[in-house]
Amino acid sequence: MSLIFIIAGWGKLTGYSGTQGYFTSIGLPAILVPLVILIELGGGLALLFGLKTRWVAAILALFSIGSAFIAHTNFAEPGQMNNFLKNLAMAGGFLLFVKYGAGAPSIDDKIAK
């Protein structure tokens, strides 16, 4: 799950001006782009390594639900229904991380010991 967000965040970072254009086209202020990149790239990396897993997973769950309803409701556009449902499914997966944490091979586990 983390890799999806790392790739998405990296794509937004390397295609910054295009991301700004997309945000404004769906009614979001371009000033949100750095925050979204931080959530996607930073959150994805934190989840990958199991750092502050429960908090990061909660943020990514809320982000996934929010982005589903903000950016993926134009179902007339090909692929948007899939993106909408994918985001909701990802949120469900993140809620499992909120409940159970990352497990043994994580930074969180190493800190707890």
Which pLDDT band holds residue 66 (cuts at 50, 70, 90)? very high
Which pLDDT band holds residue 103 (cuts at 50, 70, 90)? confident
Which pLDDT tens digit goes with each residue over 4-40?
999 999 999 999 999 999 999 999 999 999 999 999 9
Q: Helix, strand, coil % (nearest 5) of the chain?
A: 80, 0, 20
- Tokens linked to 94: 């993140």
The upper half-sphere exposure of residue 44, i.e. CA atoms within 13 Å in the direction of its Cβ, equals: 17
pTM of the model: 0.92
Which pLDDT tens digit goes with each residue over 67-99?
999 999 999 999 999 999 999 999 999 999 999
Domain ranges of the chain: 2-108
Distance CA 4, CA 44 (A): 8
Distance CA 99, CA 74 (A): 32
